[in-house]
Amino acid sequence: MKMTTIWMGALAILSGSANAAQVYDSYDAFYAAQPGAVFGAPIEQDADSIYSLPGEQGIYTHLRSALDGKTVRIDVAENRITVNGKTYRFARATTFPGEYAIDIDPASARVFLARGTRIRPSLLCLEGDGSGSGEADRHKQIFLLLDPLARNAAWLHLPSLLSSCRAVVATNYGRFAFPKNSYLFDETQESRIGLLVSYHTFAHRRFASVPAPKQVRLRFTHPEIPFQFSVQDKN
């Protein structure tokens, strides 16, 4: 065995051990540390770029960025996003089973862009919050636009529980994957002690689980409080 191979293997083991021991207090930080994370920082939003149109309800924000060498103009309203003049309504997205599209506060919404690669199209992700109570803060409205500058971009509504645009990862076979999370309970089924992160993708016009990355188990530091956790195991 070559020395470099041994060294790389040792690094992988060390990296795996560090990952298992690390306590996270942010899902964004956890997702950003996953291999293949697609999105980095959101597009910067000017606090003075919030507008209203006479005769139309609500407010919208205007963002401007670049993607694959082209200018992208984005308007985010309560129930839709408009990309270079083309509007995508939340209610018309292909929705992951069990999710519901709701209005969001445009002023707090975040939009992420990821360049395309040789084997994967560019991506746009919108992350927002509705007006919820109690544990609604654990749910994000996440919408993904595949190939956003194309004429027939796919428009998806992804799972909400403790997720994030930063949770989207590129797979090694040219697709993207995202988590569908569910709570793990204690033996009495009364206390939530962890989270099962199960990865899915969208292919052939339907959602499906993916072979890899498949699942990650997170354990909460304190039962019922999901905002501090560590990785229990991966497969």
> Can you give the binding site for other proteins, defined by CB under 8 A?
26-28, 47-48, 50-54, 57-59, 100, 102-103, 105, 107-108, 129-139, 141, 183, 189-192, 225, 227-228
- Confirm if 138 and 226 have CB atoms less than 8 A apart: yes
| Residue 204 Cβ vs other proteins, minimum distance, rounded to whole Å | 28
∠ CA 88-170-122, rounded to 5°: 40
| Residue 49 Cβ vs other proteins, minimum distance, rounded to whole Å | 9
Closest to other proteins by CB, 27 or 39: 27
| Residue 69 Cβ vs other proteins, minimum distance, rounded to whole Å | 26
| Residue 57 Cβ vs other proteins, minimum distance, rounded to whole Å | 6
Looking at the DSSP assignment, which residues form a beta bridge with residue 154? 146
Pair of tokens at residue 174: 């040219």
| Residue 116 Cβ vs other proteins, minimum distance, rounded to whole Å | 29
Closest to other proteins by CB, 182 or 215: 182
**Rounded distance, CA 201 to CA 204, Å?**
10
HSE-CB of 139 using CA atoms within 13 angstroms: 21
Closest to other proteins by CB, 74 or 153: 74
Which residues touch 160 (CB under 8 Å, ≥6 apart)? 99, 139, 140, 141, 142
Closest to other proteins by CB, 7 or 100: 100
CA distances from 108 to 73, 111, 210 (A): 18, 10, 32
Closest to other proteins by CB, 120 or 166: 166
